[in-house]
Amino acid sequence: MNLNRNSLLLLCVFTFCIIEFSSGQIPRQYLNISVAPDKTDWTYKTGENVEFSINITQSGVAVPVENVRYVVMEEKMEPLKEGTLNLKDGKAKTQKFTMRNPGFLRCEVYATLDGKEYKGLGTAAFEPEKIQPTVKMPADFAAFWDKAKAELAEIPMDYTMTHLPEKSNQHLDVYHVSFQNIRNSRIYGILSIPTGEGKFPAILNVPGAGIRPYGGDLGKAMRGAITLQIGIHGIPVDLPQEVYNNLSAGALSGYMHINNQDKDLYYYKRVYLGCVRAVDFLVNLPQYDGQNLAVQGGSQGGALAIITAALDSRIDYLAAVYPALSDLTGYLNGRAGGWPHVFTGQNLKHYNKPEVIETLAYYDVVNFARILKAPGFYTWGFNDEVCPPTSFYSAYNVIQAPKEVFVVPETGHWTYPEQGKKTEDWLFGKFGVK
């Protein structure tokens, strides 16, 4: 099949929107359970009532279902109300509920069809712009990270670049790259460079949680930006999938908690500094235009985007989707905290210790958001069960830098392609590239 430049660009952009911005495909299930608050923007004043509407269908038609029940709670908290629902033509409504403090109220609905239980949910926001964080800023936060960056600066880059002809074409060159990081570790990634004349803006693509290979952000490279998509685990990003599966189940299982009792040894210290080292690498490329540098990611990557931009003044713009690692101590204060949910469930008995709470304050997105200066574009929804909206609004609300947010309330820990396109257009608009 022969593809011209425009066709290839559209294919790359579409692939990026589906893979990078969403956690898999847009969720659909055989039995559709729609749960929606009674205001079109799903947003309320504190003390205002919300009534949830439920519509249960299969292929757009109401079908007989069993064991229809609902649960209403502040997100991630104990139920405020639960009971059964009587459907009429597949529809029902709950009683009215409210919240007295800013936050999110969630209604989950369960129904059984052919012996299988299905779930739907809807989440009402109560003055989310007023949510304030629970995590405190350590007095030596800036000094801690200044010292860490100074130590990183003493380490030689020692980079490697291996050309990947199978990924390259007449419009871009693609490389598997690596460079030196702290603790004798390395950062690996896929670098894509347009082949045209002149200099180009650059985008650092930071990853969501997990251990996996990466193929590079080819769509934006086709549009005219240098892109570097990195992994964070100190291993090449082009190995067979089996390698990553084994690491996920073995040595790197639960990596987000490794050494979280020590701020100098915590797993994410190497990760955060590795993102800064990736910036070092990008700004030294001869093809970089020297004035347009962005960082972008979703979930863990959304956190890393904010953190990298806060740590490194060379970042001009950032784009973050439902950032993780935000207001981790929320659970210790009677409300939802951010992924990886350190202080709830089984994690609570292991990590509810003064030294862990102290360490995580140096790594919480909220404290980086407090010092952030780069303009940012953000997008998310209210139905996120992985990164609770309470947690990322805690970070978003303390950002003083210029910021824009595109909210699609019904989305959870996934996005529509339109969110990816708006984000990309915002970045390229800042670059002055059509």
CA–CA separation, 69 and 30 (whole Å)? 18
Count of positions (residues) in the chain:
434
CA–CA separation, 351 and 342 (whole Å)? 7
Question: What SS3 state is found at 226?
Answer: strand
Residue of 252, 237, 356, 372 lying closest to 304 (CA atoms): 372
Q: Which two tokens stand for residue 401?
A: 């830098």
Beta bridge partners of 56: 33
312 Cβ contact partners less than 8 Å away, ≥ 6 residues apart: 275, 276, 279
Q: Can you tell me which residue has the tokens 């490279």? A: 221
Q: Is the dihedral of CA 319, 322, 325, 326 positive or negative?
A: positive
How many angstroms separate the Cα of 18 from the Cα of each of 26, 27, 215, 349, 366?
8, 12, 14, 37, 28
Q: Alpha-carbon dihedral of residues 44, 330, 389, 139, nearest 10 degrees? A: 110
Active-site amino acid positions:
299, 384, 413
Contact present, 217 and 192 (Cβ < 8 Å): yes
Burial of 342-380, coded b for 16+ CB within 10 Å and e otherwise, reads bbbeebeeebeeeebbebbbbbbbbbbbbbbebbbbbbb
Question: What SS3 state is found at 244?
Answer: helix
CA–CA separation, 359 and 339 (whole Å)? 16
Neighbours of 160 (CB within 10 A): 12
CA–CA separation, 326 and 395 (whole Å)? 6
The 8-class DSSP code of residue 60 comes to T
Contact present, 125 and 389 (Cβ < 8 Å): yes
